[in-house]
Amino acid sequence: MARYTDPKCRVCRSAGVKLFLKGTRCFSPKCPVERRAGVPPGGIKRGRRSSKSDYGIQLKEKQKLKNLYGVMERQIRRYFDEALKVKGATGETMMQLLERRLDNAVFRLGFTPGRSVARQVVSHGHVMVDGKRVDIPSFRVRPGMVIALAGKALKVPMVKMNLEKKDYVAPQWLERKAAVGRVVRLPNRDEAETGINEQLIVEYYSR
């Protein structure tokens, strides 16, 4: 499957917010979003461009969501179509489906500093779900599932560093002890990414 391979910091600068695509670098003074505040790729400061159309605003929000969770266009469209069939708010359901991805759960459990690292850890077969190795980042977790890191993952520097952090607090839909986590219940909207306006994305796909 095709993946974005250009500099990830350009994506954050284009979105105007941190998407935490570079792990620990995002929390350091080297983060370009902080060093080049208000200046997207191309060098033109925000506010000097003409106002965007409704379509442009919706498209930008959809792109932000894709980059945040590290999914491709076909995947995000599939999540929307699935959420559309579920009773309730389509946007909230779509966000819940994205939160239930295995790579996101690994990130939320504090095993890795970012989703891109979590996706790599999963893809390399370093994650066990209910005692079985799962190497599919989009695998959907369910309440009661136990997520654990395999032995080799504990030797990955970024994983080891994250596990040693004392200030980690798991979201209420997850619980963690050392390198083992459990899905307590389904996540709600407040526990998903708060910097996303999912209604704009629903409007984009409902055109």
Q: Which pair of structure tokens corresponds to residue 12? A: 């954050």
Instruction: Judge contact between 111 and 121, C-beta under 8 A.
Output: yes
Q: How would DSSP label each residue in 186-204?
A: ---GGGS-TT--HHHHHHH
pLDDT attached to residue 2: 47
Which of 29-38, 96-105, 123-132, 178-187 has the weakest average pLDDT?
A: 29-38
Residues 94 and 116 in one domain: no
Task: With H, G, I as helix, E, B as strand and everything else as coil, classify residue 140.
Answer: strand
pTM of the model: 0.79
- Whether 1 is covered by a domain: the verdict is no
Domain that holds residue 35: 8-98+194-205
Q: What is the total count of domains within the chain?
A: 2
Angle between helices 90-99 and 73-84 (to 10 degrees): 130
Residues 86 and 128 in one domain: no
Residues 201 and 162 in one domain: no
pLDDT attached to residue 40: 66
Residues 71 and 106 in one domain: no
CA dihedral (89, 169, 22, 116) positive or negative: negative
How far is the C-alpha of 128 from the C-alpha of 147, rounded, in Å? 6
Query: Model confidence at 193, in pLDDT bands (50, 70, 90)?
Result: confident
Which residue matches tokens 């390399």? 124
Residue-wise pLDDT for 22-42, tens only, equals 666 665 666 666 666 556 666
- Whether 77 is covered by a domain: the verdict is yes
Residues 142 and 120 in one domain: yes
pLDDT attached to residue 27: 56
Query: Model confidence at 18, in pLDDT bands (50, 70, 90)?
Result: low
- Whether 145 is covered by a domain: the verdict is yes
Which domain CATH number covers 142? 3.10.290.10
Residues 59 and 116 in one domain: no
Task: With H, G, I as helix, E, B as strand and everything else as coil, classify residue 120.
Answer: helix
Residue-wise pLDDT for 43-100, tens only, equals 555 555 556 899 999 999 999 999 999 999 999 999 999 999 999 999 999 999 999 9
How far is the C-alpha of 106 from the C-alpha of 176, rounded, in Å? 10
